[in-house]
Amino acid sequence: MTGGVKIICKKKFGQFLITEQPRCVVNAVEEHELKWNSYTLIKLVPDMPYQITIYFPYMGKETCAATKNITVKPGKTINLTYKTPFSILSPGSIQFSD
């Protein structure tokens, strides 16, 4: 049985200069491209700890990174929401969502 994490990424109003798509790194190894305002499902092996880091590239750098530690239960999906901060000099945030 598999589980996973479903991630949606949101920008603040007026952050139109952020044109690159966000990225997700699982356990500092596996990288996935995400989409703004759209859910992306990443399948994960259940009952293992995972470190999820989400960021977006801006001017050649990993910007507004945020990290969340999760463990997926068999057959379950964890919903996460990544939000950009007001200033791109600050870290983003990841929250559990419904």
pTM value is 0.93
29 assigned to some structural domain: yes
Interval 62-77: pLDDT, tens: 999 999 999 999 999 9
11 assigned to some structural domain: yes
Contact 9, 32 (CB under 8 A): no
CA 78 to chain centre: 12
Quote the domain boundaries for residue 17: 3-70
Contact 6, 24 (CB under 8 A): no
Total domains, the chain: 1
Interval 16-64: pLDDT, tens: 889 999 999 999 999 999 999 999 999 999 999 999 999 999 988 999 9
85 assigned to some structural domain: no
